[in-house]
Amino acid sequence: MVSEAGTSLRDALGQKMDELSEALDGLDEEKAGRRAADAEWCCKEVLSHLMGDEGEDILAPLRRIIEEDTPLIGIVTGLPYYTPDRQTMSLAEMRGAVSSRYGELAEFLGGLTDADLARKARVPLFKETPIGEYATMAQFVGALNFHLTDHINQIRNARQQVGA
């Protein structure tokens, strides 16, 4: 039976996507690609990061949590994945790609059961967090929502700094 918690996670993800869309509304192409400082990402780099590594399936780690007993999920942080191909993408194309990627995730979440959400994975990145190294599917997805919040705020700050 589909979980109310899964539906809630799906809805929370949808809300984050709405917030991301609002944060990007009215942004022009030139300012989307402008960095406020050398060490900071431009808005397009943030979107590229949210698109993930080229060829990476956003659902792969979640499927592994369901299919395997306590799989090891490695997460690489801090990479924008802003490849030459992505640098040629328009802001609209990047927005569409992020929306599609997280739309797939939302659909997946809406079909999870309570048993699915209780399954665990070993996520070393979470070891020093309140979640701990052994995260349930629900905690893993909750962390993803926090990740999105951080990047939505990063986009808002980047826009402000470049006068967009």
CA–CA gap between residue 115 and residue 125 (Å, rounded): 24
**Domain residue extents for the chain:** 4-159
Element (H, E) at 120: strand 120-122
Give residue 103's pLDDT.
Answer: 96
Count of all residues that appear for the chain in the document: 164
3-state secondary structure of 113: strand
Cβ(123)–Cβ(73) below 8 Å: yes
pLDDT digits (tens, 9 = 90+) for 107-158: 999 999 999 999 999 999 999 999 999 999 999 999 999 999 999 999 999 9
* pTM > 0.85: yes
* 49-88 per-position pLDDT tens digit: 999 999 899 999 999 999 999 999 999 999 999 999 999 9
On whether the 4-159 domain is CATH 3.10.129.10, my answer is: no
